[in-house]
């Protein structure tokens, strides 16, 4: 009888271990695949004949500099009146570009424009100038730990705000891996253009004032059809709009599902 009881107890213990292991597997976190040191935002348009070279440069940065640099496209809609409605554009990105110009105080809004770490802007097709601006970019002052389960997106932010800054916004980005677009009208009529790392949604998760803080949102509310990856940006907020980007993380959805 004693042996039978011990066997039952051992069986129960092993069953408990299996259950705990199953729970751990079920709730296991998938962590960010990259912690980029720099962020490039390309403001581009399907209706702009000067943009395809910048789109190709962005593709090269995504392909060859992804460990060091997060490069994303933010298509704008203000050239739609020229005869072709950009199929990827959002007025949110047009407003973001204008807000950058207001924050800098130079009113410089054009395509193709690359903004490096939320501060310096350069013509997005001029590779030498783009790489020089990347070399000048200042190190991030915050660290982002991005994790995803089947239920939750969690971003843990830690570090310091730059001197003089009071708050930063923590942004979540849905990113489409690739889009091939046949341009039917406008300045690029008849061309088939490839776009990579296209931002499909830019959503604030909350405000950060320094130190360790965690931001969470349901994964189901943030996934969009066609998304390949997601990213977190930590960006200083100025009185006139977004400023310096001081932290980032990126990962593929299929690595977090």
Residue 132, phi then psi, degrees to nearest 5: -65, -40
User: Which percentage of the chain shows pLDDT scores above 90?
Assistant: 72
| pLDDT average, residue stretch 92-101 | 97
Is the pLDDT at 143 greater than 80? The verdict is yes
| pLDDT average, residue stretch 229-241 | 90
Residue 114 CA, chain-centre distance (Å), reads 15
Per-residue pLDDT at 108: 95
pLDDT, greater one: 120 or 241: 120
Is the pLDDT at 71 greater than 50? The verdict is yes
Residue 78 CA, chain-centre distance (Å), reads 22
Q: How confident is the model at residue 1 (pLDDT cuts 50, 70, 90)?
A: very low
For the chain, give the mean pLDDT.
Answer: 87
Per-residue pLDDT at 32: 56
> Do residues 187 and 81 make contact, with C-beta atoms less than 8 angstroms apart?
no
> Do residues 38 and 249 make contact, with C-beta atoms less than 8 angstroms apart?
no
Distance (Å, rounded) from C-alpha 69 to C-alpha 62? 8
Per-residue pLDDT at 20: 41
Per-residue three-class SS string for 87-146: CCCCHHHHHHHHHHHHHHCCCCCCCCEEEECCCEEEECCCHHHHHHHHHHCCCCCEEEEE
Is the pLDDT at 94 greater than 80? The verdict is yes
Give, in order, the Cα–Cα distances in Å from 80 to each of 85, 151, 155, 189.
5, 38, 36, 13
Distance (Å, rounded) from C-alpha 200 to C-alpha 114? 18
Distance (Å, rounded) from C-alpha 13 to C-alpha 107? 68
Residue 137: name the closest of 210, 212, 41, 231 by CA. Answer: 41
- The pLDDT tens digits of the residues spanning 152-206 come to 889 999 999 999 999 999 999 999 999 999 999 999 999 999 999 999 999 999 9
Angle, alpha carbons 132-176-220 (nearest 5°): 130
- The pLDDT tens digits of the residues spanning 13-48 come to 444 444 444 433 334 445 556 789 999 999 999 999
Beta strand 38-43 with 69-73: parallel, antiparallel or unpaired?
A: parallel
> Do residues 209 and 237 make contact, with C-beta atoms less than 8 angstroms apart?
no
Give, in order, the Cα–Cα distances in Å from 168 to each of 23, 61, 80, 115, 158.
35, 26, 32, 18, 12
Which region among 23-32, 96-105, 212-221 has the lowest average model confidence (pLDDT)? 23-32
């Amino acid at each position: 009888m004693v042996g039978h009881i011990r066997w039952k107890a051992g069986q129960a213990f092993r069953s408990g271990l299996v259950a705990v292991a199953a729970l751990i597997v079920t709730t296991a976190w998938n962590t960010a695949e990259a912690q980029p040191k720099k962020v490039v935002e390309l403001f581009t348009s399907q209706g702009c004949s000067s943009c395809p070279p910048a789109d190709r440069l962005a593709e090269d940065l995504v392909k060859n500099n992804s460990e060091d640099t997060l490069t994303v496209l933010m298509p704008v809609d203000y050239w739609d009146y020229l005869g072709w409605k950009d199929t990827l554009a959002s007025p949110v990105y047009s407003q973001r570009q204008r807000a950058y110009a207001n924050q800098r105080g130079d009113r410089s809004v054009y395509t193709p424009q690359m903004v490096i770490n939320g501060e310096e802007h350069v013509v997005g097709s001029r590779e030498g100038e783009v790489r020089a601006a990347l070399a000048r970019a200042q190190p991030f002052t915050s660290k982002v730990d991005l994790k995803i389960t089947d239920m939750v997106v969690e971003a843990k932010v830690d570090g310091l705000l730059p001197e003089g800054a009071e708050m930063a916004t923590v942004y979540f980005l849905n990113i489409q891996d690739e889009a091939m677009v046949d341009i039917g009208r406008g300045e690029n009529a008849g061309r088939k253009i490839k776009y990579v790392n296209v931002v499909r949604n830019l959503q604030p998760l909350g405000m950060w004032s320094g130190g360790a803080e965690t931001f969470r949102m349901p994964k189901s509310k943030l996934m969009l059809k066609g998304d390949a990856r997601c990213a977190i940006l930590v960006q200083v907020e100025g009185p006139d709009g977004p400023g310096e980007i001081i932290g980032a993380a990126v990962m593929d959805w299929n690595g977090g599902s």
